[in-house]
């Protein structure tokens, strides 16, 4: 089955770019800077970087307080975004792009880290609370809505209750954890394709 999906993704990446307006905004949450590249808080960046690679594009254009790239996913024209505002202000970038392209919350898909999930577990949601994740909280506040889909990537709970949460999410993945996170990112990419195609239920059934 995996081989079939690989072939499907290869075919899709070779399709001509979709025409018409930007229909979806796909956001990966994280913190800019090399020092944060392998940290738990950057799970969203890891996922969207893989998505861009699969789409044959580079997220390297600066606009909306973010790095962006246009791509085609499930025959839809989409904007890939990595906010450069740091996590707790991610909503500024998302709201700017959403306003510019007139994209409603239900067509803004967010990849984020989640400390309530074991490392590399994924959870797809149509909408929901931010659960304390500062990037999701900022997006909710700036959009005035929590009705946006998201794919959460587990980064594991704190080792013990007294461990500082900020230190934990800014800690680096171990080599084994990073390998598993790369696999989780593959699942996030596949879930994204389904969600954009209007198959959120299927994405939830497959990857939750």
Q: Which residues are catalytic?
A: 41
Residues contacting 172, CB < 8 A, separation 6+: 38, 39, 40
Task: Find residue 94's DSSP bridge partners.
Answer: none
Q: Which residues on neighbouring strands pair with residue 117, listed in sequence order?
A: none
Structure token pair of residue 103: 């994209």
Q: How many CA atoms lie within 13 A of 119 on its CB side?
A: 17
Report how far residue 122's alpha carbon sits from residue 169's, in angstroms, rounded to the nearest whole number.
Answer: 17
Distance CA 115, CA 131 (A): 10
Q: Which helix (H) or strand (E) holds 152?
A: strand 150-154
Could you tell me which residues come within 8 angstroms of residue 123 by beta carbon, excluding any fewer than 6 positions away? 114, 117, 151, 152, 154, 207, 208
């Amino acid at each position: 089955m995996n081989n079939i999906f690989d072939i499907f993704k290869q075919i899709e990446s070779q399709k001509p770019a979709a025409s018409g307006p930007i229909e979806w905004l796909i956001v990966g949450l994280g913190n800019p800077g090399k020092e944060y590249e392998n940290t738990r808080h950057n799970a969203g960046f890891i996922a969207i970087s893989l998505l861009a690679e699969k789409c044959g594009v580079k997220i390297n254009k600066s606009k909306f307080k973010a790095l962006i790239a246009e791509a085609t996913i499930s025959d839809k024209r989409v904007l890939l975004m990595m906010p450069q505002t740091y996590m707790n202000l991610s909503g500024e970038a998302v709201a700017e792009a959403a306003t510019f392209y007139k994209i409603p919350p239900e067509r803004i898909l967010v990849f984020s880290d989640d400390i309530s999930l074991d490392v590399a577990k994924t959870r797809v949601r149509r909408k929901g609370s931010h659960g304390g994740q500062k990037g999701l909280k900022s997006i909710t506040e700036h959009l005035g809505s929590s009705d946006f889909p998201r794919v959460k990537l587990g980064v594991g709970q704190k080792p013990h209750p007294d461990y500082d949460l900020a230190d934990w999410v800014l800690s680096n993945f171990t080599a084994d954890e990073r390998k598993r996170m790369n696999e989780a990112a593959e699942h996030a990419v596949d879930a994204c394709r389904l969600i954009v195609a209007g198959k959120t239920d299927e994405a939830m059934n497959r990857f939750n």
